[in-house]
Structure 1
Amino acid sequence: MSGPDKLNISHLEDNGIIDSAAAVATDDEHSLTFREACKRYPKAVFWAIAISLTIVMEGYDTILIGNLFAYPSFKEKYGTYYPDLDQYVVSGAWQAGLGNAASCGAIIGLIINGYMTERFGHRIVIMVGLVVMSGLIFITAFAPSIQVLCVGQVLVGIPWGIFSIMGSAYASEGQLIAAGILQGLVNNTTKWSYRIPFLVQLSWPLPLFILAWAAPDSPWWLVRKHRLGDAERSLQRLTSNMPPEKIQSMLAMMVHTNNFEKAVQAESSYKDCFRGTNLRRTEVACMILSAQTLCGEAFSYQPTYFFTQAGLKPAESYKLNFGGMGVAFVGTCVSWILMTYFGRRKILTTGIGLLVIDLLIIGCLSYTPQGRWAQAAFAILWLGIYSSCLGPESFTVAAEISATRLRAQTISIARNAYNVANIVDNAIEPYLINPTEAGLKGKTAFIWFGVAVLVFTWAVFRLPETRNLTYEELDVLFEKRTPAWKFTAKNLDAVMESQKIQELDDNEDGTEVQKV
């Protein structure tokens, strides 16, 4: 940038000017409607979508491996023949192992991501992860044994762990693609019927690598690295025809928020996520992401195996699964509308409550001799509720709830909390539903109903609202230890007014006032 468009950022060392400019930017941010935000930040919207597409691969595999357990050619290759059942079955132990393998790898990837993203930025980390993942896919596609397949899933889970916190809303697109491919190949009796779904993943790395290379770095990350000139240029790339003074105010707000957080925490490390008020923020991020799996994901999110255990034929099950992924895709689109008009807390508590009721109904229907189609319908309804509420919205809260200086670390911890919960759930689920184990079939829903009730109770008392609050305002509310149900812009005004009154009283008493 040069000439009159170049911003004067040298004055941002002046705290008084920072405070004034940040206040202007904060007020401006509050006044923005959704349409105005899209009009002002079309490039930011585009890059958010582009980077979020990395999670399509994770979404694809999430639905792929679990639904292959009911695939005839996959069972014949990796399963064991049971004469009394007259069919090949992948044992409960191996279902648990394969279902958890990618999650184990993702834990490693998330730890790497927490360190590497803060050091090198999102773009570099994504590009390296895409290159590594492209080579690892061949292990899963051509695994000669179930043991090698399990190792391949662990290894490919490492880059998936890196991608898993880059975005969420577009995961449903990957799942819809996987369901369509599985449904189309279910009658293919060759090895390629399960190899092709694995190899389809190779179609994404190159275009995503190009997008990541062309994307601007996060201005927040650049501010934390004291690269204000680069942050300025990044903001210019993310906005559309915004006057220099507006960008100046936005940059000042970022510097102001960063300075505030530095005042209440000295470093940006994993251990800081468990200190002071950051502990509460880490709890919320961990619990809301873990809620995805604790509310029955292992049971209802990959329902093909459940459909076959309920008595449906494989061809019918995969058609229903494809329809269910279509419902999930529509639900994700609906979530965009819901989060525009309703608060995060309201959407999530309502969604979790509806999932609780849905699981109870599935469990009750398992006692009806002819209830398999009704159970299938409510399993698909679970997908719709999950995809319109808990699935995408939980990622939004996990990203918004942390301090900006601890964002990468907090989300990595939270996603690993999800992975640990997912590993436990995926280890338990096969033993509950597999015909060679407990064989509970639809009654498995009662187990997840009980867990989901506990999650709902936590959400009511511990999940704060983040909508319409800037990062600095969230910092203030957490520092004041505000109850979860009082996280609103209106209550923030009351908190700030109370603080001003307290400062005046302290001044009148001659007490020194310490400001953060």
Structure 2
Amino acid sequence: MPVDKATAFLQEIPDENTTELLTNRGPPRNNMSSGRTTGALLYAVSAAVLGMLQFGFNTGVINAPRAFIENFIRENNQASPTLLFSVIVSIFAVGGMIGCPLASWIADKRGRKFALTTNAAFGVIGAAFMGFSKIASSVEMLIIGRFLIGINCGFATTASPTYVSEVAPVRLRGAFGTVNQLAVALGLVGGQILGIDVILGSDDGWPWLLGLAIIPSAIQCFMLPFAPESPRYLLLVERHEEKARDVLVHIRGTGEVDDEINDMHAEDRAEKQEQKFTIGDLFKIQALRSPLIIGVVMHLSQQLGGINAVLYYSSTIFESAGLAPADARLASIGVGSILFIMALVSIPLMDRLGRRTLQLVGLGGMVVSSVLMTVAFFTYKDNFTMSVFAVLFTLLYVAFFGVGPSSIPWMILSELFGQGARSAAVSVGALVNWFANFIVGLTFIPMNDWLGNLVFIPYTVLLILFFTFTYFKLPETKNRTIEEVTSIFKK
């Protein structure tokens, strides 16, 4: 790293106007459209967040049919059913690791709308592979389908929030941003409900269950051609101001969009004045490396705390706690429901209590809950009350996850970095998150076979370490500008 580049970063202090633009302090001046919600805007956001619903659905749907899928593997393959089921679960995250950077590249080259439409068509293909795998007696088709749908979901976790943030008015950007998390939770609950015995949780029903992933993508394929392109992309990338203006008039429901156009131009000028940094720079410059480590640890705490062990294998966990298989699948619905409720609860708390406080409360609560879960797992035999408590403690663990660790890792990197380094930092965080997701999905079943009732102890130890790191290292970003936050790491 040339010395002058690092020095330039440390000496870089944006003027008052630039800082105002980079941190979005307050609404645009005299912009009467900045707080309006129109039918066209809701349509565009709905079309985009179907990709996030797809992500939630495919995270939760694999849980209930484990026994039936393992029977299918046993009938069509000589390999270990348990091992192959772990591969089927975890290959989803491998696809996600590919989908994230692919989304950024296509969205910047061809536009947000094109990226979302292409990804929707790709999702149809992945769902078809999974849905027809049993008819074809092909375990390979099931693995390929989960891999393809993983690419689709990883793509969506990058492309959908980007599009939503760029079409939403500034005053409503935070509120519309939470729609993504709500869509994930709704998809998760939907997948778990459809997986119960009386619906599609059966030997004949599981291919239909997995194949239903075709519906969100198919609806997107129909809706997106009628949705507008991102006005920010049209103005700042394609340089078509009239097209951007027409889109803003359409989705804002008013012709008074001059201030919003001017704000985007000013943001563009401010961004050009700021030094650009690559992923390599994040590791070489101390003032960038420190917030990157914090952000990466936040992402690791989300995954290595064991939440996806619950999301992917809650039926297995509840059966281990003494519930009958049918009851375990019913109890699993509570996992997604709790996440959906906590997504709603955390919205007003995020700006009231702050990111650091919620992250610490969430991690601390997960530590206590995982200890209580382990105790209940040891005492459930011939004790129905402790079986119930094991389920309740698991749901409490999920609830504390929803308090902060569910959403804060995804937003914290954007608040720790200025515009010049933000894109690179967010990309690193997303990649780490999906890789940790893959590790948990692949290792939980072998760990469960090896450790039995102690399976959550490793996650508990990691949660304690993450809590300690967060307490000493994570600064509070609530009510602080980007410049105020980045200055902490420049000192």
Regarding TM over 0.5, the answer is yes
Map Cα deviations across residues 466-516 of structure 1 (whole Å, 9 max, x no partner): 4444xxx41463255268xxxxxxxxxxxxxxxxxxxxxxxxxxxxxxxxx
Instruction: Determine the structure 2 residue equivalent to 1:103.
Output: 93
Aligned-pair CA distance for 1:104? 1.1
Give the distance between the partners of 2:289 and 2:236, measured in 1 at CA.
Answer: 21
Aligned-pair CA distance for 1:157? 1.6
Instruction: Determine the structure 2 residue equivalent to 1:351.
Output: 362
| 2:304 matches 1:309 | no
Give the distance between the partners of 2:405 and 2:83, measured in 1 at CA.
Answer: 29
Give the distance between the partners of 1:224 and 1:368, measured in 2 at CA.
Answer: 61
Map Cα deviations across residues 69-109 of structure 1 (whole Å, 9 max, x no partner): 2x4x333222489xxxxxxx974422321121111122122
CA contact (8 A) 1:401 1:474 kept: yes
Instruction: Determine the structure 2 residue equivalent to 1:51.
Output: 48
Instruction: Determine the structure 1 residue equivalent to 2:260.
Output: 247
Measured at CA, do residues 45 and 38 of structure 1 come closer, stay the same or move farther in structure 2, by a change above 3 Å?
farther
1:283-432 map, 5 Å: 283-302=293-312, 303-369=314-380, 370=383, 371-404=386-419, 407-432=422-447
| 2:72 matches 1:77 | yes
CA contact (8 A) 2:112 2:230 kept: yes
Q: Which amino acid aligns with 1:474?
A: I
Unaligned runs of 5+ in 2: 1-13, 162-179
Instruction: Determine the structure 1 residue equivalent to 2:125.
Output: 135
Give the length in aligned residue pairs. Answer: 442
Instruction: Determine the structure 1 residue equivalent to 2:211.
Output: 199
Instruction: Determine the structure 1 residue equivalent to 2:165.
Output: none
Give the distance between the partners of 1:456 and 1:189, measured in 2 at CA.
Answer: 40
Give the distance between the partners of 2:63 and 2:99, measured in 1 at CA.
Answer: 21
CA contact (8 A) 1:102 1:157 kept: yes
Measured at CA, do residues 115 and 235 of structure 1 come closer, stay the same or move farther in structure 2, by a change above 3 Å?
same
Give the distance between the partners of 2:203 and 2:476, measured in 1 at CA.
Answer: 51
Give the distance between the partners of 1:199 and 1:184, measured in 2 at CA.
Answer: 17
Aligned-pair CA distance for 1:227? 2.4
| 2:141 matches 1:148 | yes
Aligned-pair CA distance for 1:449? 0.4
Q: Which amino acid aligns with 2:372?
A: I
CA contact (8 A) 1:232 1:251 kept: no
Instruction: Determine the structure 1 residue equivalent to 2:486.
Output: 478
Measured at CA, do residues 115 and 432 of structure 1 come closer, stay the same or move farther in structure 2, by a change above 3 Å?
same
Measured at CA, do residues 94 and 244 of structure 1 come closer, stay the same or move farther in structure 2, by a change above 3 Å?
closer
CA contact (8 A) 1:105 1:161 kept: yes
Q: Which amino acid aligns with 2:116?
A: I
Instruction: Determine the structure 1 residue equivalent to 2:152.
Output: 159
Rg larger for:
1
Q: Which amino acid aligns with 1:304?
A: S
Measured at CA, do residues 62 and 26 of structure 1 come closer, stay the same or move farther in structure 2, by a change above 3 Å?
closer
Instruction: Determine the structure 2 residue equivalent to 1:495.
Output: none
Give the distance between the partners of 2:129 and 2:90, measured in 1 at CA.
Answer: 17
Q: Which amino acid aligns with 2:92?
A: A
Instruction: Determine the structure 2 residue equivalent to 1:181.
Output: 194
Please state whether the residue corresponding to 2:379 is helix, strand or coil. Answer: coil
Measured at CA, do residues 345 and 387 of structure 1 come closer, stay the same or move farther in structure 2, by a change above 3 Å?
same
Give the distance between the partners of 2:157 and 2:122, measured in 1 at CA.
Answer: 15
Aligned-pair CA distance for 1:117? 2.3
Aligned-pair CA distance for 1:62? 0.7
CA contact (8 A) 2:62 2:210 kept: no
CA contact (8 A) 1:127 1:213 kept: yes
Aligned-pair CA distance for 1:56? 0.9
Aligned-pair CA distance for 1:252? 4.7
Aligned-pair CA distance for 1:155? 2.5
Q: Which amino acid aligns with 1:206?
A: A
Instruction: Determine the structure 1 residue equivalent to 2:467.
Output: 456
Instruction: Determine the structure 2 residue equivalent to 1:514.
Output: none
Unaligned runs of 5+ in 1: 1-17, 82-88, 484-516
In the superposition, the TM-score normalised over structure 2's length comes to: 0.79
Aligned-pair CA distance for 1:272? 4.8
Please state whether the residue corresponding to 1:53 is helix, strand or coil. Answer: helix
Q: Which stretch of the first structure deviates more once superposed, 241-250 or 417-426? A: 241-250
Give the distance between the partners of 1:128 and 1:280, measured in 2 at CA.
Answer: 37
